Amino acid sequence: MFSTKMTVFLVLLLQSCIVLASDPDPLHDYCIPIPEFSSIFPSCKNSSLVTVEDFVYSGIKNPGDFKNTGFASIPVNSAVFPGLHTLGMSFVRADFEAGGINVPHYHPRATETAFVLEGRVYSGFVDSSNRVFARVLEKGEVMVFPRGLVHFQMNVGDSPASILGSFNSQNPGSVKIPNVMFGSSIKEEVLMKAFGLNDKEVHKLRKRFVPQ
Amino acid sequence: MFSTKMTVFLVLLLQSCIVLASDPDPLHDYCIPIPEFSSIFPSCKNSSLVTVEDFVYSGIKNPGDFKNTGFASIPVNSAVFPGLHTLGMSFVRADFEAGGINVPHYHPRATETAFVLEGRVYSGFVDSSNRVFARVLEKGEVMVFPRGLVHFQMNVGDSPASILGSFNSQNPGSVKIPNVMFGSSIKEEVLMKAFGLNDKEVHKLRKRFVPQ
Amino acid sequence: MFSTKMTVFLVLLLQSCIVLASDPDPLHDYCIPIPEFSSIFPSCKNSSLVTVEDFVYSGIKNPGDFKNTGFASIPVNSAVFPGLHTLGMSFVRADFEAGGINVPHYHPRATETAFVLEGRVYSGFVDSSNRVFARVLEKGEVMVFPRGLVHFQMNVGDSPASILGSFNSQNPGSVKIPNVMFGSSIKEEVLMKAFGLNDKEVHKLRKRFVPQ
Amino acid sequence: MFSTKMTVFLVLLLQSCIVLASDPDPLHDYCIPIPEFSSIFPSCKNSSLVTVEDFVYSGIKNPGDFKNTGFASIPVNSAVFPGLHTLGMSFVRADFEAGGINVPHYHPRATETAFVLEGRVYSGFVDSSNRVFARVLEKGEVMVFPRGLVHFQMNVGDSPASILGSFNSQNPGSVKIPNVMFGSSIKEEVLMKAFGLNDKEVHKLRKRFVPQ
Amino acid sequence: MFSTKMTVFLVLLLQSCIVLASDPDPLHDYCIPIPEFSSIFPSCKNSSLVTVEDFVYSGIKNPGDFKNTGFASIPVNSAVFPGLHTLGMSFVRADFEAGGINVPHYHPRATETAFVLEGRVYSGFVDSSNRVFARVLEKGEVMVFPRGLVHFQMNVGDSPASILGSFNSQNPGSVKIPNVMFGSSIKEEVLMKAFGLNDKEVHKLRKRFVPQ
Amino acid sequence: MFSTKMTVFLVLLLQSCIVLASDPDPLHDYCIPIPEFSSIFPSCKNSSLVTVEDFVYSGIKNPGDFKNTGFASIPVNSAVFPGLHTLGMSFVRADFEAGGINVPHYHPRATETAFVLEGRVYSGFVDSSNRVFARVLEKGEVMVFPRGLVHFQMNVGDSPASILGSFNSQNPGSVKIPNVMFGSSIKEEVLMKAFGLNDKEVHKLRKRFVPQ
């Protein structure tokens, strides 16, 4: 009996990703997904198995790996830190070498408040009428990036800079503009018409962003 | 008594924009803002003054004005069609000349369902891992663009094409990628680093998109 | 070990319907339920298995089957078009023969915007103080029906009419007034008292609406 | 200066109804609208002016006025009991003479839990597939009516009955089916076609429900 | 094949608690969890298996068991009354002997409306600026306790009192202040500093509230 | 004409507090309340008057004023930092002298993520079954406090400690347990019965917390 339908079923399940939930009011004090199977069924651990470690995250004490843009980030959402599940929050640590840049990007599902832990960071966002709000932030200053709006950050000091960003979604998502445009397989013709570029120019841009 | 504080107050008010509200469950059957003053106070018209015309929109029978991209759109949100106020929906009519393009853009506050009224439209979106989902839609087909994800449309037929888009927000917003990047006053250095372009290339792109 | 509890369990599961979710902010870019098992577990397909076809619906190019009221409708919710899952929208195609009617009904979980694709349609809704807002809509006009309010449509032109309705819920539901009253098994006494009818009159009405 | 625009403005405002808000998470501990002007501006009373009386409602100690259906109800929403404002709840007291009936109706914006204070009440609702769930409730029993679904109650005991209904919206709304159909000015032709009645039958029904 | 991973999996599942969901708009008319397995998978019963009994609760006709505080309560949330699942409401019956007290507590996820069924009850809440709103409620009066604020009730009459509380969440939760402070294992030093008590005083308080 | 009703009106308005709004999806990119009048009308500044300074907060570069508990906090909600208005987030800087304590408290309207900027902080929360989850956090660690649950923090290091807390509400509120219990005017009898204390003990506790 289990050999046919059930097998297919389990195979399908093991290929499936985390079940959606939503960011509104939680229905329980908390819900720690069962670690190994959280990707299959959205069950909460029996509360007797929950420990304080489920609610503490220790992975952002140090910077992440720097990319060639002089930027390193460690996004911490509910997939990485299960204690956030159903609680409507997540965060990110971002580090910048001198001159390092966090390229223009936006979070489709959250507002961000960014606190400067260290350094001087030129920081800004663009509203939907294409107006830019930007300035240099000093250590201890906080900037808010409204949900879904494009924003960017650049270390304009001489020493490393560091930022803690917080989000009001357990999974805010992140869309990097250069990558979504030139690092995806959007038809060349669309890009040429959209940016007014010829095919050579588009090729050149794509080379940089498409994983080779 | 009214001459000082009150005057300042009114002046400020007359400069203020529509008061925010939110897209969740409405608290009344409907709420038609008082026309002339909706931008100041979010009061609903007395229901005895409400008529059927408040709930009907007649301004998308014909295409809007075409731009040089061969594209015309008439977005209809609650600012244009007050009957939508508090009801959590809005819509847009989009028309395409042959080869016309709706450049890559996203709506920060809504999912869109796009119904092809006429023509053959290459249509797609990019998810946050930069994967593209696109194909040609025929008349009568519908594509869904998830909230906050970049999408685009291009008329690949020989005759005009037309689309009706619907949104689950009374004010979805729209961020056009080429314009937000090269039509805004984002610092040149940010753009150079983000796209790997030199200053000449950035200048050239900006010329096209910055209103002169 | 699997033969007892597990069997009962699977049997129960196979009888269960789609798991609830809710219409608020999505937690992922999208979530396509695993087709065959969506009715059992609300798992999302692994994104590598998702294709553009998951986001396109092609089943409303033509009218549905006409009933004796001269009306045909094809409601497209997340059960029919899984790509809508978690995205908070759905839609319906409605077609009317000359004189055809979409009887008074309401959607318990959504506002509707109705766009006239073709024809002249008398269209209206009733608010909770029993006030009617109705008029004839021409091709290209849009009427909004606030969430949960009774509305109706009737083709008053000489030729077929067609409407595209959009909803801000992935499963708006639909309650047809004549059917919920006289096509259900509500106690006769309740109906007699509610409408001030005698038993013969109720019998006659029921005959029409109760499936025989 | 105030004589022109300002006068028009005030006149319009004084005609306007309560400003919409919504039922989601409150942003303050509470918000008691300023009594006389709540219909104009949604301002909260200064907290120093708030008293315990703002949070207590004393108007349902006794039944309301009975109608000819042997039914009396006192709906208490945020318009009547301002302390409910922004808190997402409201309630109703319903009293039934022997045989009295609360005609089939629904609440567009709330679920209801109905607790029988006194008596024996036949109570039920109809789901959107026209299935009826109904039975007699005894004193102390509670029935839940899911949001937006048609429900009804009838005193089947020999003595008066009484119910306390609670809602998860500060303004649930109420649509009575007989009244919305036959007590509104829906076009006769729509009603004839919808219910399969001739004009005489519709006239007769309307006579009962249209305020004369 | 099922013997390893699958067994672990089932064991884990059988230890897991109810899957979270949320209190926003429901996506179906209703969703009755499958009784025996509701704790594992959040599947809804097939609607053909749903009966009127799923929507009626009969367990609060009489008071619950009285504690030594002269207080008895029967909280009815979706775990106890599955028909409430996804419908955003729940309720509680509270009974008081003369002098009985419902100690200061709050509900982290809901507003409460409390209706006095019988007796005279001193009733109040404290806002976040530590201001108290309290008075004696008579039979038939209703007090609203805003979401998340501390409130309390005490029978100040000579005879038993009884209250029906309703909540706008299917699982409001309840945090009793004396118990959360002195009945939990919060470090002694924290309590001493927080309340300005010495260790003896803390010990004495704890003795009363820690289950021995 | 303005001298009577209008004067009363303005007086009332000037006494009124900030108008409620809610934390769900914003309806605009942002909404900066008009500074001087935000407490009266919830109008947004005309966008041409909005500057980058509206979105940056500079007031938490240094600790706030320390209380006798060795604790200093600067809560930054939308009343203090108007740029947060409608964006669903806020934050707090908390500083601790050696041994300093943030007494047990909870936020009725938000989850908190607390990041240790400096020092070693014993940190914990209590769930609604009175179970404590606590441990010492090092610099760079983050703990999540689920919405509405009681939590506390104590500097257990030898040097000052500092924390940045973020919230998913523009106005989370804060209820300090010792103050809400013994610093408010809750009737003595309620406190005696709730905590099992005699009147002397209650007097002693109150002395500490009631502002004298």
Question: CB-based contact (8 Å) between B1 and chain F?
Answer: yes
Range of the domain at D127: 63-172
Alpha-carbon distance C8 to nearest alpha carbon in chain B (angstroms): 38
Residue F199 falls inside a structural domain: yes
pLDDT at B157 over 50: yes
pLDDT at C6 over 80: no
pLDDT at E145 over 90: yes
pLDDT at C77 over 80: yes
Report how far apart, in Å, the C-alpha atoms of A184 and of each of A207, B133, B193 are: 11, 10, 19
B97 by Cβ neighbours in 10 Å (0-12 / 13-18 / 19+) ranks as: middle
Nearest to B173 by CA among F95, E33, F31, F43: F31
Q: Are residues C204 and C121 in the same domain?
A: no
**In this complex, which chains have at least 3 CB pairs below 8 Å with chain B?**
A, C, D, F
- Give the integer Cα–Cα distance in Å for B195 and C66: 55
Instruction: Categorize the per-residue pLDDT at C16 as very low, low, confident or very high, splitting at 50, 70 and 90.
Output: very low
D155: β partners: D121
Higher pLDDT, B15 or F188: F188
Q: Are residues F110 and F148 in the same domain?
A: yes
Q: Which of B67, B103, B150 to mutate to test binding with chain A, by most A CBs within 10 Å of its CB?
A: B150
A192 by Cβ neighbours in 10 Å (0-12 / 13-18 / 19+) ranks as: middle
Instruction: Categorize the per-residue pLDDT at F212 as very low, low, confident or very high, splitting at 50, 70 and 90.
Output: low
Task: Count Cβ atoms below 10 Å from residue B87 Cβ, excluding itself.
Answer: 25
Cβ B208 vs Cβ A196: under 8 Å: yes
Alpha-carbon distance B160 to nearest alpha carbon in chain F (angstroms): 33
Number of domains present in the structure of chain A: 1
pLDDT of residue E162: 98
Chain E residues closer than 8 Å to C42 by CB: 42
> Going by DSSP bridges, is the β-strand pair A71-76/A90-96 parallel, antiparallel, or unpaired?
antiparallel
pLDDT of residue D212: 61
Report how far apart, in Å, the C-alpha atoms of A154 and of each of A124, A157, A193, B130, B145 are: 9, 9, 30, 23, 31
Residue A102 falls inside a structural domain: yes
Closest residue in D to F10 (Cα) is D37
pLDDT of residue B35: 64
From the list E81, E87, E143, the residue facing D147 with the nearest CB is E87
Q: Which of B143-157, C41-55, D32-46 has the lowest average pLDDT?
A: D32-46
How many angstroms separate the first and last alpha carbons of chain A?
46
Residue E85 falls inside a structural domain: yes
From the list E179, E185, E190, the residue facing F101 with the nearest CB is E190
Q: Which of B3, B4, B13, B25 to mutate to test binding with chain D, by most D CBs within 10 Å of its CB?
A: B25
Beta-carbon separation of E184 and F69 below 8 A: no
- Give the integer Cα–Cα distance in Å for E156 and F121: 44
3-state secondary structure of F155: strand
Q: Are residues F80 and F130 in the same domain?
A: yes
A50 by Cβ neighbours in 10 Å (0-12 / 13-18 / 19+) ranks as: buried
Residue D205 falls inside a structural domain: yes
Task: Count Cβ atoms below 10 Å from residue B129 Cβ, excluding itself.
Answer: 13
Please state at what angle helix B188-195 crosses helix B199-209, rounded to 10 degrees: 110
Alpha-carbon distance E188 to nearest alpha carbon in chain D (angstroms): 31
Beta-carbon separation of D24 and B22 below 8 A: yes
Instruction: Categorize the per-residue pLDDT at E114 as very low, low, confident or very high, splitting at 50, 70 and 90.
Output: very high
Looking at residue E82, the DSSP 8-state letter turns out to be G
Cβ B172 vs Cβ B77: under 8 Å: yes
Q: Are residues D146 and D185 in the same domain?
A: no
**Phi-psi category of residue B208: left, alpha or beta, with phi > 0 → left and psi -120 to 50 → alpha:** alpha
Closest residue in A to E85 (Cα) is A27
Question: CB-based contact (8 Å) between B44 and chain D?
Answer: yes
Residue B142 falls inside a structural domain: yes
Q: Are residues D164 and D195 in the same domain?
A: no
Burial E141-175 (b: 16+ CB within 10 A, else e): bbbbbbbbbbbbbbbbbeebbbbbbbbbbbbbbbb
Q: Are residues D121 and D204 in the same domain?
A: no
A63: β partners: none
For chain D, the C-alpha Rg in angstroms (whole number) is 21
Question: CB-based contact (8 Å) between A77 and chain C?
Answer: no
Beta-carbon separation of A147 and B108 below 8 A: yes
From the list A12, A41, A171, the residue facing C28 with the nearest CB is A171
Nearest to B160 by CA among B77, B74, B71, B40: B71
Question: CB-based contact (8 Å) between F130 and chain E?
Answer: yes
Q: Identify the residue whose tokens are 């609903």.
A: B44
Chain C residues closer than 8 Å to D20 by CB: none
Q: Are residues F109 and F203 in the same domain?
A: no
Chain E residues closer than 8 Å to F148 by CB: 106, 108-109, 148, 173, 175
- Give the integer Cα–Cα distance in Å for E206 and D61: 42
Looking at residue C62, the DSSP 8-state letter turns out to be S
Question: CB-based contact (8 Å) between F43 and chain B?
Answer: yes
Residue B200 falls inside a structural domain: no
pLDDT per position as a tens digit, B160-203: 999 999 999 999 999 999 999 999 999 999 999 999 999 999 99
Q: Are residues F120 and F20 in the same domain?
A: yes
Alpha-carbon distance D25 to nearest alpha carbon in chain F (angstroms): 6
Cβ F190 vs Cβ F162: under 8 Å: no
Cβ A209 vs Cβ A178: under 8 Å: yes
Q: What mean pLDDT comes out for the span B7-24?
A: 36
Q: Indicate the helix (H) or strand (E) that contains B182.
A: helix B177-182
Q: Are residues D132 and D166 in the same domain?
A: yes
Question: CB-based contact (8 Å) between C37 and chain E?
Answer: no
Beta-carbon separation of E149 and F177 below 8 A: no
**In this complex, which chains have at least 3 CB pairs below 8 Å with chain F?**
A, B, D, E
pLDDT per position as a tens digit, E147-178: 999 999 999 999 999 999 999 999 999 999 99
What six digits make up the tokens of C120? 């002249």
Please state at what angle helix E188-195 crosses helix E199-209, rounded to 10 degrees: 110
Q: What mean pLDDT comes out for the span C3-8?
A: 42
Chain F residues closer than 8 Å to E177 by CB: 177, 180-181, 194
Compute CA D86 distance to the chain's CA centroid, rounded to the nearest angstrom: 17
Q: Work out how many CB contacts closer than 8 A connect C with E.
A: 76
Q: What is the pTM of this model?
A: 0.90
Beta-carbon separation of A87 and F111 below 8 A: yes
H helices present in chain A, as ranges: 7-15, 177-182, 188-195, 199-209
Report how far apart, in Å, the C-alpha atoms of D113 and of each of A139, D167, D168, F15 are: 53, 7, 9, 38
Question: CB-based contact (8 Å) between F200 and chain E?
Answer: no
From the list B8, B40, B169, the residue facing F43 with the nearest CB is B40
What six digits make up the tokens of C116? 């006239």
pLDDT of residue D14: 34
Cβ F115 vs Cβ F78: under 8 Å: no
- Give the integer Cα–Cα distance in Å for E143 and D81: 10
pLDDT per position as a tens digit, F105-158: 999 999 999 999 999 999 999 999 999 999 999 999 999 999 999 999 999 999
Q: Which of D30-39, D80-89, E16-25 has the lowest average pLDDT?
A: E16-25
Residue ranges, chain A, pLDDT below 50: 1-22, 24, 38-40
- Give the integer Cα–Cα distance in Å for E116 and E106: 18
Question: CB-based contact (8 Å) between C48 and chain E?
Answer: no
What lies within 8 Å, CB to CB, of C67 at 6+ separation is: none
- Give the integer Cα–Cα distance in Å for D170 and D57: 14
Alpha-carbon distance B86 to nearest alpha carbon in chain A (angstroms): 19
From the list F1, F19, F173, the residue facing D44 with the nearest CB is F19
Q: Are residues F196 and F164 in the same domain?
A: no
E97 by Cβ neighbours in 10 Å (0-12 / 13-18 / 19+) ranks as: middle
pLDDT per position as a tens digit, B109-123: 999 999 999 999 999
Instruction: Categorize the per-residue pLDDT at F68 as very low, low, confident or very high, splitting at 50, 70 and 90.
Output: confident
Closest residue in A to F63 (Cα) is A140
Residue B91 maps to which CATH number? 2.60.120.10
Q: Are residues C123 and C189 in the same domain?
A: no
Residue A156 falls inside a structural domain: yes
Residue D10 falls inside a structural domain: no
pLDDT per position as a tens digit, F6-46: 433 433 333 332 222 335 467 888 998 876 554 445 578 88
Q: Are residues F148 and F203 in the same domain?
A: no
Instruction: Categorize the per-residue pLDDT at C138 as very low, low, confident or very high, splitting at 50, 70 and 90.
Output: very high
- Give the integer Cα–Cα distance in Å for A139 and A142: 9
pLDDT per position as a tens digit, A44-79: 888 889 999 999 999 999 999 998 889 999 999 999
Q: Work out how many CB contacts closer than 8 A connect A with F.
A: 148
Chain C residues closer than 8 Å to D167 by CB: none
Maximum alpha-carbon separation in chain E: 68
